[in-house]
Amino acid sequence: MGNSNDFLDILRDALTRFNKKELAELLDLDPKTIGRWERQETHPSALEMPAIRNILAAEKRKAASPAADFTFIDLFAGIGGNRKAFEMAGGQCVFTSEWNPFAVKTYKANFSHDHHFEGDITKVDEHSIPDHDVLLAGFPCQAFSIAGVSKKNSLGRDHGFKDKTQGTLFFDVARILAAKRPKAFLLENVKNLIGHDKGNTFRIIRETLEKELGYHIEYRVVDGQHFVPQHRERILIAGFRRDAGFRWSDVHLPEHGPRLKSILHPQDGSEEAEEPYTTGPKGKVAERYTLTDNLWTYLQAYAAKHKAAGNGFGFGLVDGRSVTRTLSARYHKDGSEILVSQGSRKNPRRLTPRECARLMGFPKDFIIPVSDTQAYRQFGNSVVMPVMAAAAAAMKPAIVTLIEEQKNAAQLTLA
């Protein structure tokens, strides 16, 4: 962790920028803990120290950074993959919403906190959200019920998105779009959204965005394996207040993506050990990630049973030359969809959380302040960050065009 003087210098620096309550909130701790650190009664853990450094670094970057090219809000934010991507394109986040406390802990460990952070977006008044240029949302997709719509219309009850999407989290996206009218948005969801409920779900989403709210939309299914060694297809829906020229064909998708070796721990001493994931002078993957004999036997028997029945269920055994299956939020249970071969004499292993971060395209300094179980859930639920960064870069010219049009219109009005 370094010596106590180093830590005290960092803590004092942090406390010149935040009071104890603010710093405790950023670290998801009790303010009394900060006081004990200050009195040197206790010291921060190996996870908390990097979080403090990152908070300070983020504040310093913010102070040194030029004015943003556009603003955005981050809904259903998870651990911040969308935010990171749009910050790289020159955007500034002005509002965040994420309800899961473990995801919030990871998010706050990796990003500055100069704006309001809400938990449950369903309880937020849309009119209280700051004005913004772009809305980002990786909204969860629940079933859209369309039963009884005609009857409600005949009775004069709510119609449009208020009727058809109420009770789903897409409704919260729609009501914010209706109230704040951002110039653009980007929505992300599973590929199966297109075919869900025989296409009715996606039809309602399109009707809501295009007919009810008046946005021009462009959508495409993009596979993450263009950027990372993982087959992960997601639908991306980009919307603009008018057709400003954006097309998904403008998004650069590398023809040949990387292979798994690029994200695996090298285990040869070229990478510094990162406890608890890797240990020793060569940075070997900790034994805790190797499957037990019982689990490995069970997975092999399970796969054999389903193969005999003509099903495709089973584990996914990979090596450095592979592109993996989709990392899921259930990876913490048995790791079966992505098992890294360790040769014929040793059971395969799970990816470490650090390798999962890399598999989703997060930067090498991304802080993981939670348990392995929570980390696996978070990365399994995340976006592939480089996919979103490519989308942000391609959307930016259209976003800037719409911002300039609004500025020019305002100047003409004043004149």
Residue position matching structure tokens 């960050």: 385
For residue 96, list its beta bridge partners: 74, 117
What CATH number is attached to the domain comprising 274?
A: 3.90.120.10
Domain boundary among 49, 65, 81: 65
Domain that holds residue 248: 66-257+392-414
Query: CA angle, corner 258, sides to 254 and 263, nearest 5?
Result: 140
Q: Answer whether 361's CB lies under 8 Å from 254's CB.
A: no
**Residue of higher predicted confidence among 21 and 229:** 229
Q: What's the residue count for the chain? A: 415
Domain boundary among 19, 44, 65: 65
Same domain, 158 and 168: yes
Q: Would you say residue 387 lies in a domain?
A: no
What CATH number is attached to the domain comprising 17?
A: 1.10.260
Mean residue pLDDT across the chain: 87
**Catalytic pick among 29, 141, 317, 400:** 141
What CATH number is attached to the domain comprising 131?
A: 3.40.50.150
The residue among 127, 4, 7, 117 whose CA lies nearest residue 56 is: 7
pLDDT at 309 over 50: yes
The residue among 120, 122, 196, 212 whose CA lies nearest residue 160 is: 212
pLDDT, residue 165, reads: 62
Q: What is the mean pLDDT of residues 42-56?
A: 77
Q: Provide, for the chain, the percentages of residues in helix, strand and coil under a 3-state DSSP scheme, each rounded to the nearest 5.
A: 45, 15, 40
Q: What is the mean pLDDT of residues 254-260?
A: 93
Same domain, 84 and 209: yes
Q: What is the mean pLDDT of residues 222-249?
A: 96
Same domain, 108 and 17: no
Same domain, 370 and 294: yes
Number of Cβ atoms within 10 Å of the Cβ of 155: 8
Domain count, the chain: 3
Q: Would you say residue 326 lies in a domain?
A: yes
Model confidence, pTM: 0.81
Q: Would you say residue 89 lies in a domain?
A: yes
Same domain, 104 and 226: yes
Sign of the CA dihedral running 191, 196, 198, 204: negative
Same domain, 148 and 80: yes
Alpha helices in 208-367 (DSSP H): 293-308, 331-334, 353-359
Query: How many whole angstroms separate alpha carbon 64 and alpha carbon 2?
Result: 27
Same domain, 403 and 373: no
Q: Would you say residue 149 lies in a domain?
A: yes
Q: Mind listing the pLDDT tens digit for each residue in 136-186?
A: 998 876 554 443 344 444 445 444 556 666 668 888 999 999 999 999 999
Domain boundary among 46, 65, 84: 65
Residue 92, helix vs strand vs coil: strand
Same domain, 36 and 80: no
Same domain, 274 and 408: no
Same domain, 172 and 274: no
Indicate if 93 belongs to the active site. Answer: no
pLDDT at 289 over 50: yes
| Residue 296, phi-psi category: left (phi > 0), alpha (psi -120 to 50), beta (remainder) | alpha
pLDDT, residue 411, reads: 75
Which residues fall within 8 angstroms of residue 344, CB to CB, at 6 or more apart? none
Q: Would you say residue 148 lies in a domain?
A: yes
Q: Would you say residue 53 lies in a domain?
A: yes
Same domain, 228 and 81: yes
Query: How many whole angstroms separate alpha carbon 41 and alpha carbon 144?
Result: 54
Q: Mind listing the pLDDT tens digit for each residue in 83-117?
A: 999 999 999 999 999 999 999 999 988 987 777 88
Q: Would you say residue 386 lies in a domain?
A: no
Q: Answer whether 216's CB lies under 8 Å from 239's CB.
A: yes
Same domain, 44 and 83: no
Which residues fall within 8 angstroms of residue 253, CB to CB, at 6 or more apart? 222, 226, 227, 390
Q: Would you say residue 398 lies in a domain?
A: yes
